[in-house]
């Protein structure tokens, strides 16, 4: 795994370079000489997060607003606790 560092200016000038570097390992994006962000490939992100997409990831996907979601009614709700 190769770790790369780019300044914010270098990132904006050549996004393609940053994307290619992220395929080899994390890319630290610096601002004022200090690391501020990390760019990862999606595959590496999935590996780090357990390879399971979160509900936020799923809702952010293109076309998610067109999905019809049918939620079945809950049948087995827990009973209220008796505090007496």
User: Total structural domains in the chain?
Assistant: 1
User: Which CATH number belongs to the domain containing residue 37 in this structure?
Assistant: 3.40.1620.10
pLDDT tens by residue, 51-65 = 777 788 888 889 888
- CA-based R_g, the chain, Å: 21
Report DSSP state, residue 48. H
Question: Confidence band (pLDDT; 50, 70, 90) for 77?
Answer: confident
Cα–Cα distance measured from residue 17 to residue 4, given in angstroms and rounded to the nearest whole number? 11
Specify the pTM.
0.59
Cα–Cα distance measured from residue 44 to residue 41, given in angstroms and rounded to the nearest whole number? 5
Could you list the residue range(s) of the whole structural domain that residue 45 is in? 4-52
- Does residue 12 sit in helix, strand or coil? helix
Backbone φ, ψ for residue 35 (5° rounding):
-60, 130
Q: Is 82 inside any structural domain? A: no
Query: Is pLDDT at 69 greater than 90 in this prediction?
Result: no
């Amino acid at each position: 795994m190769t770790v790369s560092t780019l300044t914010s200016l270098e990132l904006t000038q050549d996004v393609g370079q940053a994307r290619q570097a992220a395929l080899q390992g994390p890319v630290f994006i610096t601002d004022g000489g200090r690391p501020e962000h990390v760019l990862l490939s999606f595959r590496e992100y999935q590996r780090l997060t357990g390879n399971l997409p979160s509900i936020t990831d799923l809702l952010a996907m293109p076309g998610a607003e067109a999905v019809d979601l049918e939620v079945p009614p809950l049948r087995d709700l827990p009973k209220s606790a008796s505090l007496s």
